[in-house]
Structure 1
Amino acid sequence: MDQVKDVIELTIPAKAQYVGVVRLTVSGIASRLGFHYDDIEDIKLAVAEACTNVVDHAYKEVECAGGINVHFRIFEDRLEIVVKDEGRSFDIRAVKERSGPIENHLPFTSIRERGLGLHLMETLMDQVDIHGGNGVVVTLTKFMQRDEVERNVDSPAKTESHR
């Protein structure tokens, strides 16, 4: 089993105005790791959706909003982002069952409540794991896309040296 190379931890209040901080952080980390632009945009969107779900749902019945803990776990071949809250949990199977196909006649807010965010995260990331209990833990995984051909295999320098 491969080991975590580094872990970066971030805790923000569960308020909409701080979700951008998580987006900026994951963008910087993914860029530093060498992810392609499109992958970085996908990761930012998925992480923002996970955090927005916490803001919108986790602490709804609590007078004072709690926090969102985000752990960025860096591996040799992937980035894992763990988004945790200690708010209200939910039944993941029920959300998946009602998400179904998107119906154009429904208002956007209704579509979001039917699990569009979950579908979006699963589409953008390579792996999504969600666990409930005391709050919710969402783990989003994006693998590094390695080039299929080894670098410099057919570079002019190597080709000329074999002539």
Structure 2
Amino acid sequence: MRTASDYIEMNVPAKPEYVGVVRLTISGLANRMGFSFDEIEDIKIAVSEACTNVVNHAYKDVEKGQVRIACNIYEDCLEITVVDQGNSFDVESISENLGPVDGKSVDQLNEGGLGLFLIDTLMDKVEIKSEAGVMVTMTKYLHRDEVEEHVDRISPAPSQ
């Protein structure tokens, strides 16, 4: 089992005004780790979608709810978990519908479907668990030196 070099956790109220605070914090962590601008933007969008799902869906019948955001920082990746203790949803039926948008307009998509599709598209690995609430774990791998390693290589010509 891998051990994170650092672990950061925060709890914020499940209110729209705190989603930006979470985005800013995660952005700072990703920047510190050396992710590119585009990768940081992808991470911010995915985290925002996960938090917004909690704000909009988890605590409908409850006045006060919390979102817990846990970050495991590894040498080669950032793992972000967004957890709520609110109303669960059917993870399997949502996961089955997480495919390409198939030419549908945004207003034809199921509520919440686009957010989960975005998260799945923008992150390298996504796991969703639903027991007492919902837990979304998103992983983004660092691809440092990938370009530099391949710059001098010449691909062999395909054999005919």
Give the alignment's TM-score, normalised by structure 2. Answer: 0.85
Q: Aligned partners of 2:136 and 2:88: how far apart in 1? A: 11
Deviation for aligned residue 1:98:
4.3
Q: Give a deviation string over 1:9-56, Cα, whole Å, max 9, x none.
A: 111000001100000000000000000000000000000000000000
| 2:87 equivalent in structure 1 | 88
Q: Aligned partners of 2:36 and 2:98: how far apart in 1? A: 30
Q: Aligned partners of 1:72 and 1:9: how far apart in 2? A: 6
Q: Is the 8 A contact 1:83 1:138 kept in 2?
A: yes
Does 1:19 find its partner at 2:23? no
Equivalent residues in 2 for 1:140-159, closer than 5 Å: 140-148=138-146, 149=148
Residue 128 of structure 1: SS of its match in structure 2? strand
Q: Aligned partners of 1:13 and 1:112: how far apart in 2? A: 26
Give the count of matched residue pairs: 147
* Ranges in structure 1 where 5+ consecutive residues have no aligned partner: 154-163
Q: Is the 8 A contact 1:96 1:115 kept in 2?
A: no
Does 1:49 find its partner at 2:55? no
Equivalent residues in 2 for 1:28-39, closer than 5 Å: 28-39=28-39
| 2:157 equivalent in structure 1 | none
| 2:128 equivalent in structure 1 | 130
Deviation for aligned residue 1:102:
4.7
Q: Taking every aligned residue pair, what percent have the same amino acid on both sides?
A: 53
Q: Give a deviation string over 1:99-121, Cα, whole Å, max 9, x none.
A: 553512x62xx525161111100
- Give runs of ≥4 in structure 1 deviating > 4 Å: none
Cα distance change, pair 98–79 in 1 and its aligned pair in 2 (3 A) = closer
**Residue 118 of structure 1 is aligned with which of 107, 116, 119?**
116
* Ranges in structure 2 where 5+ consecutive residues have no aligned partner: 153-160
Give the alignment's TM-score, normalised by structure 1. Answer: 0.84
Q: Is the 8 A contact 1:79 1:141 kept in 2?
A: yes
Deviation for aligned residue 1:89:
0.7
Cα distance change, pair 138–99 in 1 and its aligned pair in 2 (3 A) = closer
Alignment root-mean-square deviation, CA: 1.8
Larger Rg: 1
